[in-house]
Structure 1
Amino acid sequence: MDILADTPVTDLPATRERLRTAWQARKPDLAQRRADLTRLRDAFRARVPQMDAAIRADFGHRSSHENLLSEAMITLAEIDHAISHLRRWTRPRGASVGWRFWPARAEIRPEPVGVVGILSPWNYPVNLALVPVVSAIAAGNHVFLKPSEHTPRTSQFLRELLADVFPEDRVAVALGGAEVGAAFSALPFDHLLFTGSTAVGRKVMAAAAPHLTPVTLELGGKAPALICADYPIDLAAARIASGKWFNAGQTCIGVDYVLVDAARRDELVAALQKQLRERYGDLHAPQDYTRIINASQYARLSGYLDDARSRGLQVIEPFADPALREQRQAERIFPPALVIDPDPDAQVMQHEIFGPILPVLSYRTLDEAIARINALDRPLALYPFGNDRAQIEKILANTLSGGVTVNDTLLHFGVHDLPFGGIGPSGIGAIHGRNGFDTFSKLLPVFHQRRLVASDMLKPPYKGTIDKMIRWLAK
């Protein structure tokens, strides 16, 4: 596949204007939206093998099964969910006016906003691009997508897919790096969605501010798993392993660190190593283990382990093999590693890891574990493990995160009726299902007055009966 050239920055305003003019001239009705989503579903389903090949080429290697689960399955399910619920989502929603305004009536009308800009990341380059596209199209908007430059073949796949499904004045795709992304963020969109790091999210929000563009930011953070003392270690280790080493840890809601009661810390460490061996063998021919996306990210992760060793921390590398170090670095195979009880100022605890390194922290009391979670920024996800409902409720009541899966990891992301989004440094706003539809809509409040109403009397001069009526209404 020949990689297409970057989109000239000077072309971006004209493309946005073309999309906006076409939307203003003919806003997509329900039939158009359903037809668009149906064509997208059919075209995407037919091209899943091409998608898989593009992603594997961009990563150097990623398991086809991980691509099918995280990219194809999630995206197709989101499209099907939108198609099946679209008629209900687009209907006006009744709202009570209260007895003081009787006999008027009110409604909330979901109206499309115009052109939605979408900046999507590299770690799940299809899912995190197409799922918001689905929501924006379902809501009746036109879309301008800028996928990540770090997955150029997948970005080209998206451009070709969307060009075959949509007219160029309904959906457009811009390709390019940081310069294109910065100019894209500054366009006067009717809504802008960014998925990526907190640091870049701040820049996107600042770029959108001059136009007061509404923004949705899907960011990240340090998502903790907290194992209560009553929960089986082997089961927790198995589920945490899935939430940590899927996609080699390059997951915004992946487990970033785990808290376990001190008496069972070593048991958990042993159970995690057992899980790694069962899943990846000796890692000499890792067909099911994803590569790190590029050399820069590989170096960043290596720096975290160097920092941990320099502090005298225990670093466990189950697949360490000095003879394979250079080969693995060349192929960007970063072996899983555990860092035991790191200090709060260690780099693995100062930054979102976004890779296959897992800090294991021990705690003495549940209150101490909760305090350690709250000492960091509010995360995008939280994973409490426990069979005691009171303890789970205590964790939920005393922490706040973007979303929670209890006694497992990652799975809340795939539930269409749950809003997906962060809070504060982990994000602003929410997408998925109806929440995504509402995000890319203006929920327009409409008040319908009757021809004859008592409020017509509530006008100066405020004397006699009118005075008494107003004072009564104000009680």
Structure 2
Amino acid sequence: MAPDTPSDLAATFDRLRRAWREGRPPIEQRREDLSRLRNHLRTRIDEMCNAIDADFGHRARHETLLGEGGVVLSEIDHTLAKLKHWVRPERRKAGWKLWPAKAEVRFVPLGVVGIISPWNYPVNLALAPLVAAIAAGNHVYLKPSEHTPHTAEFLRSLLADVFPEERVAVAIGGPELSATFSALPFDHLFFTGSTAVGRKVMAAAAQNLTPVTLELGGKSPAIIGETADLAKAAARVVTGKFFNAGQTCIAPDYVLIHESRRDAFVGLLRQEVAARYPAKRKLEDYTSIINAAQYERLQRLIADAAARGHAVVPLLDGTQQTRPRLLPPTLVIDPDRDSPVMGEEIFGPILPVVSYTSIEDAIGYVLGHDRPLALYCFSRSEAEIEAILSRVVAGGVCVNDTLYQFGCNDLPFGGVGASGMGHYHGRDGFLTFSKAMPILRKYDPAPSDLVKPPYRGIADWVIRFLSR
């Protein structure tokens, strides 16, 4: 299908907004839409896997089922179970000074929401925010990544089967179209991607005073405490880092570990990777790098580390290039802290392992950099865990494991500072795409009947009394 043009974007946006103004989706419609989306996605799960596999060159099927379909289906189930409660007006206290009165907050939809989704989890990170926007009663215009064209067409087809064109639309096109898309006068714009592109999206949205949610990235640390179970920590870091070949915004970007435990930890990482990716399976369970540009960028990071004299440790010996863009898990041991591998988000299967001399040293290193999207700490000491949690501000935290904070429907997900702003998932997503509209119902008698010029007598007494 031909890409959309800027004029297509404007016409589609106008259609979505006009339809929303003519009739906001009631809760029954929202629930029906979400149920239908769940059924269609579940029915077409194999088609989804094939589309993503075609875009990546090779995507481990179970990682697609777990990281894409499983996450979205769980989010829909949680939303359907809770939505009737979320939409109820909240009673608030008007206070005796406004007596007699009643106060409440209603959660009303914003209107037309724009969603720009990335390539690394092209279904999950498109449909999870869409679920929240639909639950809140909005119409949605989705712009998938141009780097996953097969998945973008799958999403367009899927959503066209579920929603009428005046409720949900999908824009297909490259980065130029994304710039035009960001400048549309949405009622809310939701972006997932890099910090650099996030700045551009926010600047474009600012021209319309469009509020934005930015789900960005950064360098998420894993701090291995001195009391941590080293074997469990190694296994769980391997899961978090090499799932989707490290192409995960909340993957552990680097490990901080006490210098006395570093070598043992490296050995355990090697054992764990070898057990998970045996040669006889030909890396069927290992995902390829998305495209040549990303593959070459990661190769440059490895080459730079080697040129600087850092120990570069491939964790799979003798790996053959059996398919394009296959980059095996690789460690970089104690790189210089000003080297590129420690300066930019890696977003691939390269893991720096950095020694520290004390937990304060590790915390200080994290505090000296941008606030991360995710923080992982491994320890059997509550005092050590609290020392970390009480000092570091992160988008989200998982203690003694990795990635799972994203899968908890009842926890907000979002960054802080350079790693993003705003939240979604569960009720927090519903609130992001809603206006909390305060309503005060005033009854007789009203103080304003007395408190009015000339401010003398009873008016003077009432104002002085209320101002005590």
Structure 2-normalised TM-score?
A: 0.98
Which digits, 9 at most, give the CA deviation of each residue in 1:377-411, with x for residues without a partner? 00100001112112211111101010001111100
Corresponding residue of 1:265: 262
2:177 to 167, 177, 180: 180
C-alpha deviation, 1:265, in angstroms: 0.6
C-alpha deviation, 1:320, in angstroms: 4.5
In the TM superposition, 1:287-306 aligns within 5 A as 287-306=284-303
In the TM superposition, 1:209-248 aligns within 5 A as 209-248=206-245
Corresponding residue of 1:194: 191
C-alpha deviation, 1:459, in angstroms: 2.1
Q: Secondary structure at the match of 1:425?
A: helix
Which digits, 9 at most, give the CA deviation of each residue in 1:107-137, with x for residues without a partner? 1111111110000001000010001111111
C-alpha deviation, 1:318, in angstroms: 2.3
Does the Cα contact within 8 Å between 2:273 and 2:316 map onto a contact in 1? no
Does the Cα contact within 8 Å between 1:111 and 1:139 map onto a contact in 2? yes
Mapped to 2, the partners of 1:458 and 1:416 lie a distance apart of 49
Does the Cα contact within 8 Å between 1:320 and 1:335 map onto a contact in 2? no
Paired amino acid for 2:361? E
Root mean square deviation of aligned Cα: 1.3
Does the Cα contact within 8 Å between 2:229 and 2:380 map onto a contact in 1? no
The answer to whether structure 1 residue 158 and structure 2 residue 151 are counterparts is no
2:134 to 132, 137, 140: 137
Corresponding residue of 2:85: 88
1:147 to 141, 144, 147: 144
Mapped to 2, the partners of 1:366 and 1:198 lie a distance apart of 29
2:75 to 58, 67, 78: 78
* Cα distance change, pair 283–200 in 1 and its aligned pair in 2 (3 A): farther
The answer to whether structure 1 residue 57 and structure 2 residue 54 are counterparts is yes
**Where do 4+ consecutive residues of structure 1 move more than 6 Å?**
none
2:464 to 439, 461, 471: 471
The answer to whether structure 1 residue 421 and structure 2 residue 407 are counterparts is no
Which digits, 9 at most, give the CA deviation of each residue in 1:306-348, with x for residues without a partner? 11111111111122538x3xx35x6111011101111111111
Corresponding residue of 1:35: 32
2:400 to 389, 400, 407: 407
Q: Secondary structure at the match of 2:121?
A: coil
Does the Cα contact within 8 Å between 2:450 and 2:458 map onto a contact in 1? no
**Which piece of structure 1 moves more, 57-66 or 349-358?**
57-66
Paired amino acid for 1:53? N
Does the Cα contact within 8 Å between 1:283 and 1:319 map onto a contact in 2? no
Which digits, 9 at most, give the CA deviation of each residue in 1:200-226, with x for residues without a partner? 000101111110111100000100000
Mapped to 2, the partners of 1:229 and 1:474 lie a distance apart of 57
Paired amino acid for 1:422? G
Paired amino acid for 2:208? H
C-alpha deviation, 1:463, in angstroms: 2.8
Corresponding residue of 2:14: 17
C-alpha deviation, 1:253, in angstroms: 0.4
C-alpha deviation, 1:103, in angstroms: 2.4
Identity %: 57
Corresponding residue of 1:318: 315
Which digits, 9 at most, give the CA deviation of each residue in 1:216-260, with x for residues without a partner? 000001000001101111010011111100000000000000111
Which digits, 9 at most, give the CA deviation of each residue in 1:59-104, with x for residues without a partner? 1111111111111111001111111111111111111222222221
Mapped to 1, the partners of 2:228 and 2:112 lie a distance apart of 48
The answer to whether structure 1 residue 110 and structure 2 residue 107 are counterparts is yes
Corresponding residue of 1:345: 338
Q: Secondary structure at the match of 1:291?
A: coil
C-alpha deviation, 1:284, in angstroms: 7.4
C-alpha deviation, 1:465, in angstroms: 4.1
The answer to whether structure 1 residue 392 and structure 2 residue 385 are counterparts is yes
Mapped to 1, the partners of 2:200 and 2:309 lie a distance apart of 36
**Which piece of structure 1 moves more, 53-62 or 452-461?**
452-461
Corresponding residue of 2:352: 359
Paired amino acid for 1:67? T
Corresponding residue of 2:118: 121
Does the Cα contact within 8 Å between 2:100 and 2:444 map onto a contact in 1? no
**Structure 2 unaligned spans of 5+:** none
C-alpha deviation, 1:445, in angstroms: 1.0
Corresponding residue of 1:381: 374
Corresponding residue of 2:277: 280
2:433 to 436, 440, 446: 440
Mapped to 1, the partners of 2:315 and 2:213 lie a distance apart of 40
Mapped to 1, the partners of 2:167 and 2:421 lie a distance apart of 26
Structure 1-normalised TM-score?
A: 0.96
Which digits, 9 at most, give the CA deviation of each residue in 1:149-207, with x for residues without a partner? 11111111000000011101110001111111111111111110000000000010111
Q: Secondary structure at the match of 2:369?
A: coil
Mapped to 2, the partners of 1:465 and 1:364 lie a distance apart of 72
Q: Secondary structure at the match of 2:398?
A: coil
Q: Secondary structure at the match of 1:35?
A: helix
Aligned residues: 468
Corresponding residue of 2:450: 457
Mapped to 2, the partners of 1:414 and 1:237 lie a distance apart of 21
Mapped to 1, the partners of 2:355 and 2:96 lie a distance apart of 57
* Cα distance change, pair 23–451 in 1 and its aligned pair in 2 (3 A): same
Mapped to 2, the partners of 1:437 and 1:314 lie a distance apart of 47
Q: Secondary structure at the match of 2:169?
A: strand
Does the Cα contact within 8 Å between 1:380 and 1:401 map onto a contact in 2? yes
**Which piece of structure 1 moves more, 158-167 or 311-320?**
311-320
